[in-house]
């Protein structure tokens, strides 16, 4: 049975595009209905493959944004100007189209209630995508594990899932802290600087409480954040990271 499940995850399948949601000027969420989806854990990703008319294929990995409990599969894609895959997904894809994918993939950067907490999620830009899956899973299972999100973006307009996250914060469902590194609106009450050691020290639980930390974003952001957490005394084994480079897509 385990082998059959593994083969199912590694098999390419066509998923129908049900809905497209414009998250920001550069980021779009794609709601899919895979006919043979085996289920996933919060934090996993899928491989997406595009095939041109001449047979050329390009493949990229994208984090799953939806919770395991959702009745759909959602990917959130940031358009990269020099990318082979993301411009098509962010600009050309339409409802009713089909997308070739396989998965879910990955077992390291995942969270479920049995892993405990306190849970600190640190996102840079579109690195919030797998963390959104964790937040929605946390809510769906009515977890009592303390959770906090620290999200860095260049401006409020570039915050992915902005309205949803603000609704969560307003309803006290989760402790959400934003830091806007380039532009802050008038009357901004959040942070206005890059995530550094001092900000992490202010936002995180003390190392003695052994928080479980997930960090996702561009490579430099993830490495700097993880190093700062270790310098503050957090256990390296309880810091899980996922990163993406500046090119590809």
- Domain boundaries along the sequence of the chain: 2-105, 113-244
Average pLDDT over residues 18-23: 97
Confidence of residue 82 (pLDDT cuts 50, 70, 90): confident
2-105: CATH topology is Elongation Factor Tu (Ef-tu); domain 3 (2.40.30)
**Residue 141, token pair as written in the block:** 């299972």
CATH number listed for the domain at residues 113-244: 3.40.50.80
- How far does CA 68 lie from the centroid of its chain? 14
CA distance readout (Å), 73 to 12, 149, 166, 180, 235: 15, 22, 22, 29, 33
For 195-224, the pLDDT digits (tens) are 999 999 999 999 999 999 999 999 999 999
* Per-residue pLDDT, 2: 44
């Amino acid at each position: 049975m385990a082998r059959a499940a593994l083969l199912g995850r590694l098999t390419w399948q066509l998923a129908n595009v049900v809905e497209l949601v414009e998250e920001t000027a550069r980021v779009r969420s794609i709601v899919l209905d895979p006919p043979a989806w085996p289920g996933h854990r919060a934090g996993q990703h899928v491989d997406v493959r595009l095939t041109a008319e001449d047979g050329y294929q390009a493949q990229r990995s994208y984090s799953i944004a939806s919770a395991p409990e959702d009745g759909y599969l959602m990917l959130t894609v940031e358009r990269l100007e020099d990318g082979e895959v993301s411009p098509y997904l962010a600009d050309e894809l339409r409802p009713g189209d089909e997308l070739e994918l396989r998965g879910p993939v990955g077992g390291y950067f995942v969270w479920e209630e049995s892993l405990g907490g306190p849970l600190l999620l640190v996102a840079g830009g579109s690195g919030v995508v797998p963390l959104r899956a964790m937040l929605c899973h946390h809510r769906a299972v009515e977890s009592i594990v303390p959770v906090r999100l620290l999200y860095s973006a260049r401006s409020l307009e570039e915050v992915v899932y902005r309205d949803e996250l603000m609704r969560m914060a307003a309803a006290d469902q989760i402790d959400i802290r934003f830091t806007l590194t380039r532009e802050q609106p008038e009357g901004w009450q959040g942070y206005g600087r890059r995530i550094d050691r001092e900000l992490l020290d202010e936002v995180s639980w003390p190392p003695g409480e052994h928080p479980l930390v997930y960090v996702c974003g561009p490579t430099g952001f993830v490495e700097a954040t993880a190093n700062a957490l270790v310098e503050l005394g957090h256990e390296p084994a309880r810091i899980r990271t996922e990163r993406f480079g500046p090119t590809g897509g």
